[in-house]
Structure 1
Amino acid sequence: MKFDVKYIIGIVVILFSTGMNAQFYAGIQSGIANIQSDVNGVKASHEIGGALKVGYIYSLTDHIGIGSGVEFSQYRQEVFLNQGSTTLTNFEVDATGSAFSYSVTTSNYKESQTLQAIQIPLFLQYKKNINKGIDFNFRAGVKYFLPVSYKFETSAASVNGFAYYPDVNLYIDDLPEYGFGNQTNYAASGEYNTKGVLMSTFELGFTFQMGGKNALYTAMFLDTGYGTILDQEKNESYVGYNPTSSTDRNANGLYSTDKDATIKPVAFGLTLGWNFK
């Protein structure tokens, strides 16, 4: 990944270092923005997201150009368990160093996620005049998607954490001072550890000349991430274990239950921009 990013940034620097045949642009994107996952037993809503973008297109020929820039994007969604009441289990270690099987059952669990990222695009543009003052445009390329914040707020009608110690065949479900028991009206916040990924990006649209040096740009876009933005070393309980309390549990999030899961951004919608020289 670092190898690819160096080449993308290098080309961006070259593009911005020359002013020949330069065209700048600024715009916004809006549409359906999903954070797709393959975590079992989890479903997500479809929410509206968007991005602010500025950049630069260097013309190679009358029809072909190469462009880059910087974008700030935001994704929002709500995540639920497929079933209203579900028990998930993982292994933990208590305050004495003893390992046990930790199971969490929640009722009406909901997770409101907000992902914000910096995107660095690198694309080829093909344009063709189709009428006086109107150009057809097609852009295709890649983006480096770098999350800067992936936070979530959780809530549940109830959370019940209980333990099973296989070495001594001991089951504990009501010992609050050691972190086992029930809690009602649970609410907490958390943040996922993330890393950058590459995305493919496509735009199909039209440019309408508004003057000698200005034009309105409208297009449809599709961005698809490759790889996973999640960066964690082990599976964790989505509601964390607290060895001293059953009512002060950290929120790890549903996506933390599978460290090998693929969590990727996907967005499609409309672009509205302004080109100028």
Structure 2
Amino acid sequence: MKFNIKNIIGVIVFLISQGMAAQFYIGAQAGIGNIQSDVKGTTAGYALGGAIKAGYIYSLTHHIGIGGGVEFSQYKQDVSLSNSSVTLTNYEIDPSTSAFEYRITASNYKEKQSLHAIQIPLFVQYKTNINKGVDFNFRVGAKYFLPVKYKIEATANNVNGTAYYPDVNLTIDNLPEYGFGGQSNYSATGEYQTKGIVMSMLELGFTFDMGTKNSLYAAMFLESGYGSILDQDKNESYIGYNPTSVTDRKANGLYGTDKNAEIKPVAFGVTLGWNFK
């Protein structure tokens, strides 16, 4: 799905230019952040995520407003193979341009992932007074989620890479000068190639007046992405092939093994903010 970020920015600029019946807000959110994946054979752990945000709400009526802004978010999680002894196969080309099956087995492979992103929200807010100085707030809308960097830190006790040439029924498992063989204490970093997607957003909370022009905002939030943030044109071995050595193998990551995988951020937790006019 294509999403025109220029249109969102244009709407936000228009709202900011309207100075009447408006308020600015700053805040932070924290909770459980997960980069969901449908890549088979992988297991992901949940971790704390968060964001800092700033924006603007323009009141259309006493109850209804339109808001926009900018946010910087962070997701972190650990990913591993469900079966630590499984052998995964990918197709590669050696320096002589011969095709072969590259088979990787990694003992105790673990992957620390960290994702940083810019989010541009556009939402509708409904609010109503429920007590003196206390308003109920409901926000629903969408965000443009633009990954800035999706980093991988991969480790394994042992990595073994072998080659199988089906044309001649030949298996090579101990030729380190050509990239085939074992390696102990594997450690490498890498980065996923990404693209922007749309996220839905929902917030439910309260504002508490702290003066004539200021209020404290507290809410629960839920966000979910649509589409995949991964942007690659081919399947890759999660530990790359190095044609000259069994060391310095690139960390392509488990999510890179399926170019058609759906990798999307999902988060829920609490938001605290400060509104001021």
Is TM-score (shorter-chain normalized) higher than 0.5? yes
- 1:28 is matched with which residue? 28
C-alpha distance in structure 1 between counterparts of 2:248 and 2:9, whole Å: 44
Unpaired segments of 5 or more residues in structure 1? none
1:22, CA displacement in angstroms?
Answer: 1.3
C-alpha distance in structure 1 between counterparts of 2:4 and 2:87, whole Å: 41
Confirm or deny: 8 A CA contact 2:66 2:124 kept in the other structure: yes
List aligned pairs for 1:164-203, cutoff 5 A. 164-203=164-203
Confirm or deny: 8 A CA contact 2:28 2:53 kept in the other structure: yes
Confirm or deny: 8 A CA contact 2:3 2:197 kept in the other structure: no
- 1:237 is matched with which residue? 237
Aligned partner of residue 30 in structure 1, secondary structure: strand
Q: What TM-score does the superposition give when structure 2 sets the normalisation length?
A: 0.99
1:9, CA displacement in angstroms?
Answer: 1.9
- Any idea what the Cα deviations from partners look like across 1:90-127, whole Å, max 9, x if unmatched? 10000111000100000000000000000000000000
- 1:39 is matched with which residue? 39
Matched, 1:63 2:71: no
1:3, CA displacement in angstroms?
Answer: 4.4
- 2:19 is matched with which residue? 19
Deviates more, 1:64-73 or 1:78-87: 78-87
Letter in 1 for 2:203: E
- 1:107 is matched with which residue? 107
1:2, CA displacement in angstroms?
Answer: 4.5
C-alpha distance in structure 2 between counterparts of 1:118 and 1:54, whole Å: 12
Aligned-residue CA RMSD in angstroms? 0.8
Runs of 4+ in 1 over 4 A off after TM superposition: none
- 1:252 is matched with which residue? 252
Aligned partner of residue 14 in structure 1, secondary structure: helix
Aligned partner of residue 74 in structure 1, secondary structure: strand
C-alpha distance in structure 2 between counterparts of 1:3 and 1:229, whole Å: 13
Confirm or deny: 8 A CA contact 2:3 2:198 kept in the other structure: no
C-alpha distance in structure 2 between counterparts of 1:185 and 1:35, whole Å: 27
Letter in 2 for 1:237: S
Q: What percent of counterpart residues are identical?
A: 71
Unpaired segments of 5 or more residues in structure 2? none
C-alpha distance in structure 2 between counterparts of 1:238 and 1:128, whole Å: 52
Q: What TM-score does the superposition give when structure 1 sets the normalisation length?
A: 0.99
C-alpha distance in structure 1 between counterparts of 2:69 and 2:140, whole Å: 14
Count how many residue pairs are aligned between Structure 1 and Structure 2: 277
Letter in 2 for 1:149: K
- Any idea what the Cα deviations from partners look like across 1:191-234, whole Å, max 9, x if unmatched? 00000000000000000000000000000000100000000000
C-alpha distance in structure 1 between counterparts of 2:86 and 2:215, whole Å: 54
- 2:54 is matched with which residue? 54
